[in-house]
Amino acid sequence: MTEHPQIRPLIDADTIAARVAELGAEITRDYAGKDLLVVGILSGSFVFMADLVRRIELPLRVDFMAVSSYGDGTKSSGVVRILKDLNREIHDRHVLLVEDIVDTGLTLHYLLDNLSTREPLSLGVCTLLDKREARIRDVPLNYVGFPCPDAFVVGYGLDAAGLHRNVPYIGVLEQDGASS
């Protein structure tokens, strides 16, 4: 494994793979017999979603949305912008949103409100990381990979100003010798 001295490991790749397999099995069970559309929230969820959909043993479709509330910073601005909307209709479909991390809940709350107006049959959420300590807005989470400390984490798709998405594990980004 390549060393990344500015990243303190938090969750190793094997642990992530095992939990993704468990999540895939849970989703397979819960959505059996349903027309499932899995929606990845770009860009952070792409690695997690790719692994997750390969573990869901059901026919499914995928789509993506891109939203922004961070820019290049490490704190949410609180202003959510849709940069890419869905390509598919979700009316009368079972929709599962896939997020990399839920922290303040502001972005997810906005997305759930927006998508619910499109009248899906169901609207669920699967997140790799739940940073509950940072929560400002309560949001429902149907599937959670791991709890996350209130620190800035990167790797496995999560980034800092576009960097570190390719790190195969999740770690805390150290800045100037201290975690942010």
Find the length of the chain.
180
Amino acid at 75: K
**103: annotated active-site residue:** yes
CB 9 within 8 A of CB 174: no
Task: From the candidates 103, 130, 159, 176, give the one annotated as an active-site residue.
Answer: 103
- Write the DSSP assignment of the chain as a string of letters: ----TTEEEEE-HHHHHHHHHHHHHHHHHHTTTS-EEEEEEETTTHHHHHHHHTT--S-EEEEEEEEES-TTSSS--S--EEEE--SS--TTSEEEEEEEEESSSHHHHHHHHHHHTT--SEEEEEEEEE-GGG-SS----SEEEEE--SS-EEBTTB-BTTBSTT-SSEEEEEETTEE-
Q: What positions carry a catalytic annotation?
A: 103
